[in-house]
Amino acid sequence: MLLDDARAVLAQSPVCDSCLGRPFADRSHGLTVAERGRALRVAVALAEDEPFEAPDPEDCWVCEGHCTQFDAWATRAANDLADITFETYQVGTRVPPLIEENERLLREDAGLDPDAGEAFKAEFNREVGRRLGAMLEVEVDFDRSDVLVICDLASDILEVQINPAFVYGRYRKLERDIPQTEWPCRECHGSGTVEGEPCAHCGGSGYLYEHSVEQYVAPHVQDAMDGTDALFHGAGREDVDARMLDTGRPFVVEVKHPYERFPDLEALEAAINDQADGAVEVDGLRFATHEMVERVKELEANKTYRATIEFEAAVTPEALGDALEELEGATIEQRTPDRVSHRRADLVRTRAVHAISGDLEDDRHATIEVEGAGGLYIKELLHGDDGRTEPSLAGLLGVDVTVTALDVIAVEAEEGTFEDPAFLREPPRAF
Percentage of the residues of the chain whose pLDDT score is greater than 90: 77
109-152 pLDDT, tens digit each: 999 998 899 999 999 999 999 999 999 999 999 999 999 999 99
239 included as an active-site residue = yes
Q: What is the pLDDT of residue 215?
A: 95
* Orientation of helix 213-224 relative to helix 265-276, angle to 10°: 150
Q: What is the pLDDT of residue 341?
A: 66
Closest CA to 165 of 224, 118, 215: 224
Alpha-carbon distance of 198 to 16, in angstroms, equals 70
> Is 333's pLDDT higher than 80?
yes
Q: What is the pLDDT of residue 429?
A: 60
345-369 pLDDT, tens digit each: 788 899 999 999 999 999 999 999 9
- Residue range 165-299+416-423, CATH number: 3.30.70.2510
CA angle 198, 200, 203 (to 5 degrees): 70
Q: How large is the average pLDDT for residues 405-430? A: 89
Q: How large is the average pLDDT for residues 67-94? A: 97
Alpha-carbon distance of 226 to 383, in angstroms, equals 47
Mean pLDDT of the chain: 93
Q: Which of 5, 17, 146, 239 is catalytic?
A: 239
- Residue range 301-413, CATH number: 3.30.70.3190
Report phi then psi at 361, rounded to 5.
Answer: -85, -40
* 165-299+416-423 and 301-413 have identical folds: yes
Q: Enumerate the domain spans of the chain.
A: 2-162, 165-299+416-423, 301-413
Q: What is the pTM of this model?
A: 0.87
